[in-house]
Structure 1
Amino acid sequence: MGATELLLVRHGESTANVAAARAESAGAEVIDVPHRDPDVGLSGTGLAQARALGAWLRELPAERRPDAVWSSPYRRAAETARTALAAAGLDVPVRLDERLRDRDLGITDALTAAGVQARYPDEARRREWLGKFYHRPLGGESWADVALRVRSVIADLERQDRDRRVLITCHDVVVMLFRYVCEGMDEAQVLRAAREDGVRNAAVTRLVATSGGWRLAGYNLDAHLRTRGVKVTDEPPVPDDEPVAGGPAGA
């Protein structure tokens, strides 16, 4: 018997999230981030969000706390996991798995929507033609590519026989694609879910195993932030027919 419950958490607000919002607001083409995407850390707000997540874990009944933690190796996700575990007082090792990393945006990385339009108009047109789910920027990945990674993680979680409740810290697109796979969504359904209610920083999504597969038991749960007075953050949704901004904007 494998995992019976998955607690999917998008990382806390990152310094790149802040820089991306600033760049989009200013109409800039490039997001001013001094690090490569895997090395982007949490902002002050992101750390507070991770600590609030830890307080929530600490207050869970013992039988509902995670047995294991899997995380994207990207700094902002691993930092969220470790900060939360420290705040919760839980001695659970963090397993880093590169399959949980954020989507690689190739040549569009660190560009705003305006930057993609100005510098790679052909790429913007390709995305408009192919759609958000199947568009793979040069050197990067599509949502469908990330879904393949997610499928292999789920298979491993179902095969292992040690951990029942697993906390997974990762990225917004990864959370959405866990839902896509586990709920049997199609392209239109997952894009609509992302458009109407994008994954918030440090929010919790619960998937529970049943005899017929996985069931969504909660999505974008953020009461642990609101009740503790911690700022709730997210990016405004990008319409499916518009060019996507570079990596840090929606990481």
Structure 2
Amino acid sequence: MSGPVRIIAVRHGQSEANLAYERARETPLVFERGDHEVTLTDLGRRQAAAVGRVLAALPETEAPEVVWCSPYLRALDTWALARQAWASDLPHTVDERLRDREMGVLATFNRAAIVARFPEEAARFEAEGEYAFRPRGGESFGDVVVRLRAFVEDLRESAHGRRVLIVAHDAVVLLLRHVLAGGPDAELAAIHRHAPIRNASLSTWHTVDGRLEVLTFNDVAHLA
């Protein structure tokens, strides 16, 4: 089977939006910063450096050889800080298909604010379920799967026989598990048992008998 022999997927460190939503809890919140320009908190920066130290400690036969990043600032900053802590000179490739799930009209609102301002969207979410729901102007999880499948297909040629690092987002890491497993989309909702994907977590797949198998998933032991 062609393709990478190893994939490590990293969710970005804690972002400013992550922290704001965490603090708001059940209070309606509108986070005005565009999704592509949200960067890391101080904790997120420390988490990113911890990822770099993990990469630096890997045996040469397991360390990434090529890097792909989401175009969003919080992912790019995570890689920059990890690369610095690793003392690596690896360049990275930005791929739009690794961006976070697009939420359309709901993008700047937490769940409480959505219920208050977009009751029709909240009702549709309840009726359709999280994995089928497509907000107005946004993406369903199935839409994200489509672009990730195209990305993985391109990796089969561009990263054949190589070890790959991907720095992206919770939805990307979660749905990458579904894509690499090769199961039908009728089973997509079952992926929820692996959520939530934690900030700065590492998920690793390695080729066994020509197939990428999960070694670790959503691992945050390095953040302890």
- Paired with 2:155 and 2:123, the residues of 1 have a C-alpha distance of 38
Deviation string, structure 1 residues 198-251 (Cα, Å, up to 9, x no partner): 11111100012333532111011122211xxxxxxxxxxxxxxxxxxxxxxxxx
Residue 89 (structure 2) aligned to one of 79, 88, 91: 91
- Paired with 2:143 and 2:160, the residues of 1 have a C-alpha distance of 28
Residue 168 (structure 2) aligned to one of 145, 167, 170: 170
Matched with 1:184 is 182
The 5 Å alignment of 1:196-215 reads 198-211=196-209, 213-215=211-213
- Paired with 2:201 and 2:110, the residues of 1 have a C-alpha distance of 24
The 5 Å alignment of 1:119-158 reads 119-158=117-156
Matched with 1:6 is 7
Report deviation, 1:193: 2.2
Deviation string, structure 1 residues 58-98 (Cα, Å, up to 9, x no partner): 11112211101101010000111111011101110011111
> Does the 8 A contact of 2:5 with 2:160 survive in 1?
no
Aligned-residue CA RMSD (Å)? 1.5
Please identify runs of 4+ aligned residues in structure 1 that moved more than 6 A: none
SS in 1 for 2:61: helix
Matched with 1:58 is 56
- Paired with 2:214 and 2:161, the residues of 1 have a C-alpha distance of 19
> Does the 8 A contact of 1:23 with 1:32 survive in 2?
no
- Paired with 1:103 and 1:11, the residues of 2 have a C-alpha distance of 14
Q: Between Structure 1 and Structure 2, how many residues are aligned?
A: 220
- Paired with 2:160 and 2:129, the residues of 1 have a C-alpha distance of 40
Matched with 1:70 is 68
SS in 2 for 1:92: coil
- Paired with 2:159 and 2:46, the residues of 1 have a C-alpha distance of 34
> Does the 8 A contact of 2:21 with 2:110 survive in 1?
yes
Matched with 1:82 is 80
- Paired with 2:161 and 2:80, the residues of 1 have a C-alpha distance of 18
Letter in 2 for 1:6: I
Q: TM-score, normalised by structure 2?
A: 0.93
Show structure 1 runs of 5+ residues with no match. 227-251
Deviation string, structure 1 residues 34-75 (Cα, Å, up to 9, x no partner): x21100000000000011111111111122111011010100
- Paired with 2:210 and 2:64, the residues of 1 have a C-alpha distance of 23
> Does the 8 A contact of 1:19 with 1:31 survive in 2?
no
SS in 1 for 2:139: coil
Matched with 1:249 is none
Matched with 1:237 is none
Q: Structure 1 vs Structure 2: percent identity of aligned residues?
A: 40
Show structure 2 runs of 5+ residues with no match. none
> Does the 8 A contact of 1:12 with 1:80 survive in 2?
yes
Matched with 1:32 is 31
